[in-house]
Amino acid sequence: MRCRHLAAALALVATLCATPAQAGRTCEARPLTVQALQQGLELAERTARWLDASGAQVAVIARVGQDLSRYGLRYSHLGLAYREMRDGQPVWRVVHKLNQCGSDRAALYRQGLGEFFLDDLHAHEAGIVLLAPQVQAPLQALLRDDRRVAALHVPAYNMVAYPWSVRYQQSNQWAIETLALALEPQVRQREQAQAWLRLRDYRPTTLRLGALTRLGGRLTSANVAFDDHPGEKRFAGRIETVTVDSVFGWLERSGLGQPAQVVR
């Protein structure tokens, strides 16, 4: 039965090209191969089974959309996943922010696990953090509410947005600011969410980027900017930004989540 369902899904999507909304992966406009489609759907199925067995209602999940090993990073993009019942069956949905490829704009998407992993991934694995019980209930309520889930979203996108600025917002940054909104009733604006994150000891990743790398990124990519970073850090090549790896480490360190697990 599972194979028949997988074959039907492959037949349905085999003619689709890669979506123009991107996050944590390359921006090459090319059709997905049948192999990539099958691997993505199988990873989604394994992830759903793992999440169901965990008993969790909410989790943070990540994918490996591109190779970031030169920066010491594994995962490229995360989403906030929650469980709901449909026709008596559990279904996992993912809310995440995606950049409109080649532009400086982004939007929020609510997708299934299949869509989240239906991509030309660098590696077919999922990183998962199960959240603490006191985190799951308020976050699940927020994620089901279209108005609240978009409360702190801004479309101005920067792949390396500075975590303590509100000029831009990248995908992983939206996720942790939204987590702050769910857990702290006093949070109404992004500045307040960022203050909460500082108070809870979130520590961004520092990327070491030379002048030519920074200049090339700014001149050739609309979704890369450095003008929100403090001058003394920018000119020294220390670019701080929100990465999946830093979020996973923070969730465990703060007691908000368990150690990250891998599903392959």
Output the pLDDT for position 70.
86
What domain range includes position 210? 2-263
Residue 193 or residue 118, greater confidence: 193
Output the pLDDT for position 90.
86
Q: Tell me what the mean pLDDT of segment 6-34 comes to.
A: 46
Cα torsion 255, 262, 144, 88 to 10°: value is -120
Q: Tell me what the mean pLDDT of segment 246-254 comes to.
A: 98
Q: Which of 23-32, 75-84, 86-95, 226-235 has the highest mean pLDDT?
A: 75-84
Question: 8 pLDDT exceeds 60?
Answer: no
Question: 58 pLDDT exceeds 70?
Answer: yes
175-227 tens-digit pLDDT = 999 999 999 999 999 999 999 999 999 999 999 875 434 433 443 467 888 89
Q: Tell me what the mean pLDDT of segment 64-81 comes to.
A: 93
Strands (E), 72-153: 77-86, 89-100, 106-112, 123-130
Question: 1 pLDDT exceeds 50?
Answer: no
| Residues 75/128, Cβ–Cβ less than 8 Å | no
> Considering only CA atoms, which of 60, 49, 204 is closest in space to residue 132?
60
Output the pLDDT for position 29.
56
Strands (E), 101-175: 106-112, 123-130
Residue 223's identity, in one-letter code, is N
Output the pLDDT for position 218.
44
Q: Tell me what the mean pLDDT of segment 20-42 comes to.
A: 68
User: Angle at CA 192, nearest 5°, toward 190 and 195?
Assistant: 110
Question: 69 pLDDT exceeds 50?
Answer: yes
Structural domain count, the chain? 1
> Considering only CA atoms, which of 53, 78, 80, 52 is closest in space to residue 65?
78
**How many residues can be counted in the chain?**
264
| Residues 118/18, Cβ–Cβ less than 8 Å | no
> Considering only CA atoms, which of 262, 264, 25, 39 is closest in space to residue 130?
262
Question: 151 pLDDT exceeds 50?
Answer: yes
Output the pLDDT for position 209.
76
- Paired tokens of 24: 């944590």
Q: Tell me what the mean pLDDT of segment 24-45 comes to.
A: 75
Output the pLDDT for position 80.
98
Output the pLDDT for position 27.
55
Question: Under DSSP, is residue 250 helix (H, G, I), strand (E, B) or coil?
Answer: helix
Question: 56 pLDDT exceeds 70?
Answer: yes
Output the pLDDT for position 145.
96
Question: Under DSSP, is residue 257 helix (H, G, I), strand (E, B) or coil?
Answer: strand
CA distances from 127 to 17, 21, 131, 248, 263 (A): 25, 21, 13, 9, 7
Place 88 in a pLDDT band, splitting at 50, 70 and 90: confident
The pair phi, psi for residue 148, each rounded to 5°, is: -70, -35
Query: pTM score, two decimals?
Result: 0.85
Q: Tell me what the mean pLDDT of segment 132-150 comes to.
A: 97
CA pseudo-torsion sign 102, 232, 169, 77? positive
Question: 24 pLDDT exceeds 80?
Answer: no
Q: Tell me what the mean pLDDT of segment 151-164 comes to.
A: 96
Rounded mean pLDDT of the chain?
85
